Amino acid sequence: MREKLTIFIFSLVGFGVALLTGLRLIGISPGYIVSAPAVATGIGAKLLCSSRYVSGFSERQSFDDLVQYSGILDQLTVLYEDDKKTVRASLFGLAEKSSTYLPGIGCSVDYEGFDTRYSLAQVIEELRVEESEPAENLAWPLTDHVATVEPEVQSLIETLVLEDNAAGLNTRALLVVKGGRILGEAYAQGADAQTPLLGWSMAKSLTAVMLASLEYRGLIDLSAPASFNEWANDERAQIRITDLLTMTDGLAFSEEYNPGDDATAMLFDSPSAAGYVLAKPLAHEPGLHFNYSSGTANLLARLYQQALGGPVAARSDYEQNIAAVLGFQNAVFETDAAGGFVGSSYLYASARDWARLGQVMLNAGEINGQRLFSADWVDRATQRNGSLNHPAYGYQWWLNAGNPSLRWPSLPKDSFAAMGNRQQLVMVIPSADVVIVRLGWTAGRYPDNENFKRILDAL
C-alpha cells in the first residue's frame, strides 16, 4: 500500500511539473494561475461598477465591454446591488470582490478597513453646496453651452463615427475644436455629450497638469528628487520628479496586463496603487531608460497628495483648483480604496471635458480666464526625454516627433497627445490651433492618423 501511495505521489508531482512546464511554454506562469481569480474579480467588480454607475451604461453593455479583455471574465458571477450601488464578482465561487460607487468619487475595489473615500465624498458634497452656476449664455469651455458647430465639420464627424462603427471600431465620441470653439461632435453606442467616458491612460496627462499647477503655485519643485520616505535611505532617493514625469525613473515595473504582473496587481488587487509601486526596486539608472509605467503615474499622484497634506486636502484642491478651473462638467477622477487618485487610469470624463484638457495645453496654461500653470510648462512638457531607447515622450504626453519616424506621419510634427487603452485620444495640434478627442472601445488599431488627417483637411 505504501509503495502504491509513493508511486501515486511521485506521479502526481511529475504531472504537476509537466503541467507547469507546458503552461510556461505557452506564456502562463504559476503566478498567473495563483493571481488570476483575484485579478479577474477585481477587474470585474471595478470596471462594471464604474461603467454602470459613473458612465451610466446598461448591465449588458458594461459586461460586453468587460469580457473583451479576456475570455475568463465571461465566467464571472456578477451581482448588482443597485440600492447600495455596489457590484460583486466571483470566479467559480472564488476570490469574491466588490466595488462601491460614491457620488463624485466613483468606484474602487472595496477593502476592509479603508474608508477614506467616504471622507472625500463629503468634501465634494460640501463644495457643491457652495458652488454657483455660471451664466447659461456663456460658452464652452466655461460651460457646456455649444453654439459654434459648423455644418460641414459636423457632417464629417458624424460620417467618421458611422464609418468607424460599421468597421467594428466602437467609437463612442468624436469631437473637434478649432480656435477654442467646438466645431463638431458626434456620439454613439449609448454615449452623449454628458456621458463620462473612461480615458484609461489619458488620466496620466491630467496628473502631470495637476503637478504643473502645484509648481505654478510654488508648492512643488519638479526638478527636485521625489521625496518619498520609503526611498530616503537607498539609491531610489536620486530619482527626480522629472524622471517620473518622463517615465525614465528606472523602477522595475512591468506594464504587462496578465495576472501576476505589476499593472494588474496594482490596479485590481491592492488597496493603494502608489503604495504598491513605492516598494519596487531600481532596474536602471534614473534618467537614461524609458519604461512605460502606470505605476510611475500613481507615484506622481502621490506626490500631488503629499504636497497638499493628505488625500482629503488633495481632493479639495483638485476640485477647486484643477477641475473647476478647467470647467469640468461631467468628470469623475476616481481614487483607490486608500483615497489616492489613480493617476494612471481612472478619469471618467465627457468628450467636452477631455477637450478642455487639450485646450489648456493649446493655450499654454490659460483657460476660462484663469491660469492653471506657467506659460513655459507646455514647452517643457513636450520636449524629448533624455532616454536612449524612446525619447518621444514628454511629461506624460506622447510626442509626434522625437523618434526616427513620426508617430502620426500625416499630422504636423508639433502634434502631441494623451493616449489610453482601447484607443482613447486627446490630440493637440498647436500649429493648426486644433484639439481632437476620440473615445471608444477599440480592441485593435484605430486609424487616428488617417481620420485626423481628414478632419484637418476639412478645417
Q: Which domains, ranges and CATH numbers included, belong to the chain? A: 30-129 (no CATH), 154-458 (3.40.710.10)
CB 444 within 8 A of CB 164: no
Instruction: Please give the backbone phi and psi of residue 410, each rounded to the nearest 5 degrees, phi first.
Output: -90, 0
Q: What percentage of the chain reaches a pLDDT higher than 90? A: 89
Over residues 85-104, mean pLDDT = 97
Would you state the torsion angle of the CA atoms of residues 239, 242, 247, 248, taken in this order, to the nearest 10 degrees?
-50
Over residues 403-422, mean pLDDT = 97
pLDDT in tens, 310-348: 999 999 999 999 999 999 999 999 999 999 999 999 999
The predicted structure's pLDDT at residue 130: 76
The residues pairing with 424 across neighbouring beta strands, listed in sequence order, are 420
Q: Helix 151-166 and helix 448-458: axis angle, to 10°?
A: 160
The predicted structure's pLDDT at residue 135: 63
Give residue 104's pLDDT band: very low, low, confident or very high (50, 70, 90): very high
DSSP E strands, 338-390: 347-349, 366-367, 370-371
* Cα distances (angstroms) measured from residue 134 to each of 312, 354, 368, 452: 26, 20, 11, 33
- 396-410 b/e (C-beta count within 10 Å ≥ 16 → b): bbbbbbbeeebbbee
pLDDT at 20 over 90: no
The residues pairing with 171 across neighbouring beta strands, listed in sequence order, are 440
Over residues 245-260, mean pLDDT = 94
DSSP letter at 290 equals -
Give residue 260's pLDDT band: very low, low, confident or very high (50, 70, 90): confident
The predicted structure's pLDDT at residue 371: 98
Over residues 223-244, mean pLDDT = 97
Q: What is the mean pLDDT of the chain?
A: 92
Q: Is the pTM of this model over 0.75?
A: yes
pLDDT at 21 over 60: no
pLDDT at 6 over 90: no
Over residues 287-296, mean pLDDT = 98
- Residue ranges of alpha helices (H) inside 192-340 are 202-216, 241-245, 262-268, 273-278, 294-308, 311-317, 324-326
Q: Which has the closest alpha carbon to 245: 207, 192, 282?
A: 207
Instruction: Please give the backbone phi and psi of residue 19, each rounded to the nearest 5 degrees, phi first.
Output: -65, -45
Over residues 274-299, mean pLDDT = 98
The predicted structure's pLDDT at residue 132: 67
pLDDT at 14 over 60: no
Give residue 258's pLDDT band: very low, low, confident or very high (50, 70, 90): confident
**Who's near 13: CB < 8 A, 6+ residues apart?**
none
